[in-house]
């Protein structure tokens, strides 16, 4: 407990001592990998009020702007993880099978140290989701990782609001050992999963019709008596918002056949699917995904770790990219999140993507999937100054992230971090151990 308290105290000292306010910076003499507009070999990025004001060479900043020399280093857009569960107090609401009323924004945890871990790997934005225990889970949220700020200040309000769906083994609890006398819950099969989602969407459709009729009668004022409004149902309200287009679906899926079934459900009820999550069999249905303009958020090199992932292949992300599918790489982890740039590099080895295509897997593509590519995902004038600076090429096996910047403010500085850690250890040195049982 003492070590944990010390760690938290140290991080607080660190973040308050190195973060510069104002959002005005000049990054000077770095190699800029813009992702969309080529490479600037020795360039500057001028940031004013948190936005990229100018990109070029030999830029002279206005008075008072902090200059950071990044000679010999590389700058990329801030990395975006489109599927994670960090910064939350809880992931799955398992008390019911359908939980569309629960909201991730209600349990944000701005003190989760995984935020700091992510920043150390150049991650600036995350889409943090409800888990995959339920056919219809909760409402997800997109965050900027502004470590040290309040939870509300982290919310990326321009991002699409999304609703989590899940198919397959997690939902049917295929691998869960039941307690003596415990009955397996419904749905216990893949057909049951599709059936219960259809049932709930049908209920939401009827719920919408009731409210539409009520609002129309209220507007027309044809009745000479007060109208009794339909009963409010928060669960159905969320599903009605999905059918109205106010929410978009993100669906945990592994097998190709069940993925196609969910696409058919979207046609039946008229809702939009932004992305399928994990989907190791996506390579089997690339034509369908392209035709539907549905993206996929996937692991780079995790496959065959359970039965429904048995037919995953190493080249899947690269192959799907080459077939025109919008692909992003995700961590689904509070540890792997710090090395997504390593995963992007693997797509060059396993599938032959170009450097720009590989970088897009962790920058522009997830930004498009979250509806925020107007603001982040590439280094362009007018966009948010969300940037990551690496000591070597970010796709090198030997690289590390040295600076992570969000809207012109430095939220991770490796050099300052190491100095602060050294100072903190001098104040609170580790106790010497003498061996043996203590």
Q: What tokens does 210 get? A: 């009731």
Domain extents for the chain? 1-78+378-432, 79-376
Q: Give the pLDDT band of residue 304 (cuts 50, 70, 90).
A: confident
User: How many C-beta atoms surround the C-beta of residue 178 within 10 A?
Assistant: 10
> Given this model, what pLDDT does residue 435 score?
53
The CATH architecture to which 1-78+378-432 belongs is: Roll (2.30)
Instruction: Please tell me the pTM assigned to this model.
Output: 0.91
Which residues lie below 8 Å from residue 199, measured CB to CB, with a gap of 6+? none
Tell me: pLDDT of 6 over 50: no
20-48 tens-digit pLDDT: 444 899 999 999 999 999 999 999 999 99
Mean per-residue pLDDT, 202-222: 91
Q: Give the pLDDT band of residue 434 (cuts 50, 70, 90).
A: low
Q: Supply the CATH classification number for the domain 79-376.
A: 3.20.20.140
Tell me: pLDDT of 328 over 70: yes
E strand intervals along 34-171: 39-48, 51-56, 66-69, 74-77, 79-84, 123-128, 136-139, 141-144, 162-166
What's phi and psi for 137, nearest 5 deg? -95, -140
């Amino acid at each position: 407990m003492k070590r944990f308290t010390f760690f938290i105290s140290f991080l607080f000292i660190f973040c308050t001592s190195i973060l510069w306010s104002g959002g005005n910076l000049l990054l000077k003499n770095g190699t800029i990998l813009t992702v969309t507009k080529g490479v600037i070999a020795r360039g500057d990025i001028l940031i004013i009020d948190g936005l990229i004001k100018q990109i070029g060479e030999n830029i002279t900043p206005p008075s008072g702007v902090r200059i950071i020399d990044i000679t010999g280093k590389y700058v990329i857009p801030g990395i975006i993880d489109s599927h994670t569960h960090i910064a939350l107090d809880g992931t799955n609401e398992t008390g019911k099978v359908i939980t569309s009323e629960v909201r991730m924004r209600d349990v944000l945890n701005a003190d989760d140290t995984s935020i700091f871990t992510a920043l150390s790997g150049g991650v600036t934005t995350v889409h943090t989701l409800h888990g995959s225990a339920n056919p219809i889970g909760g409402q997800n949220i997109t965050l900027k990782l502004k470590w040290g700020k309040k939870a509300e200040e982290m919310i990326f309000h321009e991002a699409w609001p999304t609703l989590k769906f899940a198919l397959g083994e997690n939902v049917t609890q295929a691998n869960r050992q039941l307690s003596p006398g415990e009955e397996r819950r419904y749905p216990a099969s893949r057909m049951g999963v599709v059936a219960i989602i259809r049932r709930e969407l049908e209920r939401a459709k009827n719920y919408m019709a009731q409210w539409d009729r009520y609002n129309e009668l209220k507007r027309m004022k044809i009745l000479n008596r007060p109208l009794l409004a339909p009963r409010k149902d928060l669960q159905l309200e969320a599903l009605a918002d999905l059918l109205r287009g106010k929410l978009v679906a993100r669906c945990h899926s592994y097998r190709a056949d069940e993925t196609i079934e969910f696409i058919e459900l979207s046609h039946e009820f008229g809702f939009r699917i932004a992305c399928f999550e994990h989907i190791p069999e996506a390579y089997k249905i690339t034509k369908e995904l392209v035709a539907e303009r549905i993206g996929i958020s996937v692991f780079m090199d995790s496959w065959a770790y359970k039965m429904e992932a048995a037919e995953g292949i190493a080249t899947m992300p690269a192959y799907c990219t080459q077939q025109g599918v919008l692909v992003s790489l995700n961590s689904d982890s509070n540890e792997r999140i710090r090395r997504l740039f390593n995963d992007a590099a693997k797509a060059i080895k396993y599938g032959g993507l170009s450097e720009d295509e590989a970088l897009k897997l962790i920058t522009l593509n997830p930004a498009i999937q979250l509806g925020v590519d107007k603001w982040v995902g590439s280094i362009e004038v007018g966009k948010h100054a969300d940037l990551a600076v690496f000591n070597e090429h970010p796709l090198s096996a030997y690289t590390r992230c040295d600076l992570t910047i969000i809207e012109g403010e430095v939220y991770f500085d490796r050099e300052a971090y190491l100095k602060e850690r050294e100072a903190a250890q001098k104040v609170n040195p580790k106790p010497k151990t003498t061996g043996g049982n203590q």
